[in-house]
Every structure is written in C-alpha cells, then in structure tokens.
Amino acid sequence: MSNLPTVKAKDFIKVITKLGYQYKRQKGSHAIYKNLSGRRVIVPIHSGKDLKPGTLLGMIKDIGLEKEEFFDLLESL
C-alpha cells in the first residue's frame, strides 16, 4: 500500500465535492460528507498531515470508486 501517492484531507474533499458530496457536520476532527443518494464518507481532518494509506483506501471504497478512478479525478483538479 505504500506505493500510493500521498493525499491530504483538503485534496480528498475537493474530489468528493466534485462528485456531489456536501458537508453535513463535524465531530472533533472528523467531518461527515453525504451525497444525494445518502452515501456518506467520514474525512479525518488533521492539518498538514497526509491521510494514511489504509484510511485513504477505505474512504475511496466508501465513495464507490476504484483507486485508479479516484487518482484520475485527483490529477484533473
């Protein structure tokens, strides 16, 4: 898993916002985003730190994308 590019929470949020997810609420350092169909993803927000690879893969799975699709979207921003 270490061969994944590093991703910060703010970059992940840019991608999911482009996919139609909207900020709903936050508890501590975890922001919850939902889309219109009710699918949700929890984003840990720790400024200046990269998302851990396992956490990132789980979040990508939560939004219903393959990792290649996610990184293609990330590069297009």
pLDDT digits (tens, 9 = 90+) for 30-74: 999 999 999 999 999 998 899 999 999 999 999 999 999 999 999
pLDDT given at position 1: 45
Model-level pTM?
A: 0.92
Which residue did the predictor score with more confidence, 46 or 3? 46
If you ran DSSP here, which 8-state letter would residue 55 be given? H
Q: How confident is the model at residue 9 (pLDDT cuts 50, 70, 90)?
A: very high
d(C-alpha 61, C-alpha 41), whole Å: 9
Residue by residue, DSSP assigns 9-54 as HHHHHHHHHHTT-EEEEEETTEEEEE-TTS-EEEEE--TT-BPPHH
Q: Are 15 and 8 within 8 A, CB to CB?
A: no
d(C-alpha 45, C-alpha 64), whole Å: 21
pLDDT given at position 2: 58
